[in-house]
Amino acid sequence: MAEFAGLTPINVVTGFLGSGKTTLLANLLRAPELADTAVLVNEFGEVGLDHDLLRGVAESTLLLDNGCLCCAIRGDLQTALRDLLSQRERGEVPHFRRVVIETSGLADPVPIAYTLLTEPVLQHHFRLGGITTTVDAVNAPAQLRDYPESVKQVAVADRLVLSKTDLSTPDEVAALRRQLRQLNASAPIIEAAMDRPHPAELLTDDMYEAEGRAREIDRWLAAAADQDALDHQHADEIRSFALSYEGPLDWTAFGVWMTMLLHRHGENVLRIKGLLNVAGMPTPLLINGVQHIVHPPSHLAAWPGDDRQSRIIFIVRGIDRARLEASLAAFNGLAAPEDRQAVA
Amino acid sequence: MCALCGILGGRRHWTESTGAPEAFASRPEAHTRHRERQTRTRLVNAVLDHYGLRLADWSGGQYVLRGRTGRTALVDNLSELWAEADRLGSRDCDPLDPDLLADLKARGHG
């Protein structure tokens, strides 16, 4: 079985209707680094995508009996990706090393992650790369107020790309940035027109790519450091915060805690990203989860800076931060003292 | 909540460090799968005490969960465990429940 890091990455480009997903993708696909990318789009929009390997999919989600909306198989993707895989293996399509899925404006990206991690064939060939969410700087405040789909697309993102900032005032853009930072403490916010994002910045760097892994962690730690402590929201709103933990964590106790937390509260834990100081390990372990789904852990070759605290970014709905901290401490305290020691 | 959640069917569960040698490569001390399962069982039982449940390793491949009335369930990993613990136990398992956390402290854990 291939190592998780060796699987073909699948990036998701999502964002509300008219937020510039296709424009962004069209610009990115001109880059030579993305020449060997297969693209699956939900709808062929007005912005034409000129690309060798472009397929349409019809976003059909198969809800499972348990009623958990995030744990749903995307039947269309299952078929499209199996077809692509089989054609790649037979040499019937140009060899691709990456897939980008552009979702519809109302799509929930989480079932894509669930499909990739649980589908019996796909899980051995593909893995989720980053989720990029485009945000329309003019219309986002109203969309975030009125459409929960839009809020979720922002909350689960690895990158937020602002479009139409040239049609907004600097004050409006600054206010929107603050709102986005409340919803997602770890995703860098990139202005499409100003920053002209490089493919590595948006698509190819992630925590499983050896080359971009350290850059990726620097990005989300910087984003988290930039976050205002905005805990004045109502309890039922989505909020994000970085939880720090002094001292090494016992990995087994952490697994007991996190699985129990996601079992009971997974629908309200929209995103987790963590840099963990695990007892007995000289280098940090990386964890990455979306609702009930946790990817296999990865590791960094060295600590970024002198801070050896574990840092876990949570994006949650209605979960109290202090209670989460107390719970983690209690569970880590279950481990034997020798299993909570830092590496010598 | 779905029993499949978090299970990477065919892959080892994400909590099993001995199934992810690349991620844990820097750990100098050897961790055997057997030792990891023993530790996991002990830690889970410290929590399950609160719910009147008990977990035991089942031939190194699965775990068996037992309730006070003798009802049992076989589970493959931690994600499956909590769904079964809800079913066999007296109340839903919640790691944020202040009663559980107080209980862990009172028992000398945490």
- Host domain of residue A255: 238-340
* Residues A121 and A196 occupy one common structural domain: yes
Residue A316 forms beta bridges with which residues?
A239, A269
Per-residue pLDDT, B109: 56
* Domain ranges (residues) in chain B: 32-106
Half-sphere exposure of A82 (CA within 13 A, CB side): 10
Give the B window 70-89 contacts with A, CB below 8 Å.
77-79, 81-83, 86
User: What is the helix (H) or strand (E) element at residue B65, kind and residue range?
Assistant: strand B62-66
For residue A91, give how far its alpha carbon lies from the nearest alpha carbon of chain B (Å).
27
* Residues A255 and A217 occupy one common structural domain: no
* Residues A178 and A245 occupy one common structural domain: no
Say how far apart CA A158 and CA A49 lie, in whole Å. 23
Nearest 10 degrees: Cα torsion B59, B65, B71, B72: -40
Per-residue pLDDT, A161: 96
- B11 touches A: beta carbon within 8 Å: yes
* Residues A27 and A131 occupy one common structural domain: yes
Q: Which residue ranges in chain A fall short of pLDDT 70? A: 1-2, 43-71, 226-236, 343-344
Q: In terms of residues, how long is chain B?
A: 110
* Residues A264 and A127 occupy one common structural domain: no
Among A174, A190, A225, give the residue marking a domain's end.
Answer: A225
Say how far apart CA B107 and CA B90 lie, in whole Å. 19
Say how far apart CA B100 and CA B47 lie, in whole Å. 8
Cα B84 to the center of its chain, rounded Å = 11
pLDDT in single tens digits along all 110 residues of chain B? 343 444 444 568 999 988 788 888 878 776 788 899 999 999 999 999 999 999 999 988 899 999 989 999 999 999 999 999 999 987 899 999 999 999 998 876 55
For residue B14, give how far its alpha carbon lies from the nearest alpha carbon of chain A (Å).
5
Q: What is the 3-state secondary structure (H, E, C) of chain A?
A: CCCHHHCEEEEEEEECCCCCHHHHHHHHCCCHHHCCEEEEECCCCCCCCCCCCEEECCCCEEECCCCCCCCEEEHHHHHHHHHHHHHHHCCCCCCCCEEEEECCCCCCCHHHHHHHHHCCCHHHCEEEEEEEEEEECCCHHHHHHHCHHHHHHHHCCCEEEEECHHHCCHHHHHHHHHHHHHHCCCCCEEEHHHHCCCHHHHHHCCCCCCCCHHHHHHHHHHHHHCCCCCCCCCCCCEEEEEEEECCCECHHHHHHHHHHHHHHHHHHEEEEEEEECECCCCCCEEEEEECCEECCCEECCCCCCCCCCEEEEEEEECCCHHHHHHHHHHHHCCCCHHHHCCCC
For residue B70, give how far its alpha carbon lies from the nearest alpha carbon of chain A (Å).
23
Residue in B5, B17, B47 closest to A251 by CB: B17
- B9 touches A: beta carbon within 8 Å: yes
For the record, the structure tokens of A335 come out as: 């481990």
Say how far apart CA B68 and CA B86 lie, in whole Å. 13
Residue A15 region, left (φ>0) first, then alpha (ψ -120 to 50), else beta? Answer: left
Does the residue A232 lie in any domain? no
Give how many domains chain A has, as a whole number.
2
- The span from the first CA to the last CA of chain A, in angstroms, equals 34
pLDDT in tens, A27-51: 888 888 888 888 888 765 555 566 6
* Residues A194 and A300 occupy one common structural domain: no
Per-residue pLDDT, A126: 94
| Count of C-beta atoms within a 10 Å radius of residue A233 | 12
Task: Please list, in sequence order, all residues whose beta carbon lies within 8 angstroms of the beta carbon of residue B31, skipping any fewer than 6 positions away.
Answer: B17, B18, B24
**Contact criterion met (CB below 8 Å) for A96 and A84:** yes
Task: Please list, in sequence order, all residues whose beta carbon lies within 8 angstroms of the beta carbon of residue B48, skipping any fewer than 6 positions away.
Answer: B54, B55, B65, B85, B89
Residue in A256, A326, A330 closest to B44 by CB: A256
Q: In one letter, which amino acid is A189?
A: I
Does the residue A19 lie in any domain? yes
* Residues A83 and A127 occupy one common structural domain: yes
CATH number of the CATH domain containing A332: 3.30.1220.10
Residue in B10, B27, B82 closest to A123 by CB: B10
- The span from the first CA to the last CA of chain B, in angstroms, equals 27
CATH number of the CATH domain containing A54: 3.40.50.300
Does the residue A230 lie in any domain? no
Does the residue A233 lie in any domain? no
Per-residue pLDDT, A64: 47
Among A225, A260, A294, give the residue marking a domain's end.
Answer: A225
* Residues A261 and A192 occupy one common structural domain: no
| Cβ <8 Å between B109 and A333 | yes
Does the residue A231 lie in any domain? no
Does the residue A288 lie in any domain? yes
Per-residue pLDDT, A177: 94
